[in-house]
Amino acid sequence: MNANIQDVIAAFVDGEPVTADELRAALALDEGREYLVDLLVLRGLVRPAGGAELAPASGPADAGVTARASSRSVSRLFWSAAAAALVAISTLAGFAAGRMTGSDVAPATPTVTVQAAPPPAFAIDAPAPTRVIELKHGKDWNERSGGN
């Protein structure tokens, strides 16, 4: 295989700038595609076909990946904290606005129009009781005022 093809693929895997035509020409060959898969397996970015796991290499390429992942997690943490702060500030501002305006505003009195209901077409009598329960004041119940 051509050393130039290996250099182009290795540069691509390492995150270095590569032109699209060079990469296309390198991956057009079967050897180029196999070399790309081998590099990815060696760097721990792809699991080998057997399912065995390789320990990821700790080279300069991995330091860049770790730095990007770390900056992403810091960015997510920042935006999550900013969203939580925005919700808290909005809630407190709404509460304060309601407290300031709530005592000054008199409740609206609704206008009620009462119309007489037409008399029922037929009268319904209550059924006769089957059992009468008598309760005596002081024995069965006590009347209290106030409290619960």
Spell out the alpha helix ranges (H) of 43-103. Answer: 60-102
* Rounded average pLDDT over 54-81: 64
Cα(85)–Cα(99) distance, integer angstroms:
21
Contact assessment for residue 41 and residue 48, using Cβ atoms and an 8 Å cutoff:
yes
Among 44, 46, 33, smallest CA distance to 5 is for 33
Domain-embedded: residue 135:
no
Contact assessment for residue 1 and residue 31, using Cβ atoms and an 8 Å cutoff:
yes
Domain-embedded: residue 113:
no
Q: What confidence category does residue 88 fall into, taking pLDDT thresholds of 50, 70 and 90?
A: very high
* Rounded average pLDDT over 36-62: 62
Q: Identify the pLDDT of residue 37.
A: 84
**Are 9 and 48 part of one and the same domain?**
yes
Q: What confidence category does residue 39 fall into, taking pLDDT thresholds of 50, 70 and 90?
A: confident
**Are 53 and 6 part of one and the same domain?**
yes
The rounded percent of the chain whose pLDDT value lies above 70 is: 72
Q: Locate tokens 């991995």: which residue? A: 62
**Are 50 and 75 part of one and the same domain?**
no
**Are 62 and 86 part of one and the same domain?**
yes
Domain-embedded: residue 28:
yes
* Rounded average pLDDT over 34-60: 65
Instruction: Specify the number of domains making up the chain.
Output: 2
Domain-embedded: residue 45:
yes
Task: Look up residue 107 and give its DSSP letter.
Answer: P
**Are 53 and 9 part of one and the same domain?**
yes
Domain range enclosing 62: 58-100
The pLDDT of residue 87 is above 60: yes
